Chains A and B, each alone.
Chain A
Amino acid sequence: MKKEILNVQNLKLHYPISRGFFVKRNFIKAVDGVSFSLFVGETLGIVGESGSGKSSICRLILSLIPKTSGNIKWFGKDFNLYKKKEIKSFRKKVQIIFQDPYGSLDPRMTIGSIIKEPLGIFNKNLSKNESTERVIALMSDVGLSSDLYNRYPHEISGGQCQRVGIARALINKPSVLVCDEPVSALDLSIQAQILDLLDVLKHKYNLTLIFVSHDLSVVKAICDNVIVLKSGKIIENGITSDLFKNPKDPYTKKLISSVPSPIPAR
Chain B
Amino acid sequence: MKNKLKNQILEFCKEMEEDKLVVLGDTMSVRCPGGMLITSALKPMAEIGEEDILFVDKKEPKDELSALHLAIYGAREDINAIIMNHAPFCVGIAKGSKKFPACLDDMAQIIGPTAKVSPSGSASDVLKTLHGRNACLIKNGGVIATGRTLDEAHTGSLVLEKGAIAYVGSTVLGNPVKISTFDALLMRFIYKTKYSKKDQADKQAELEA
Q: Do A and B come from one complex?
A: no
Residues of chain B touching chain A, judged by Cβ–Cβ distance below 8 Å, are none
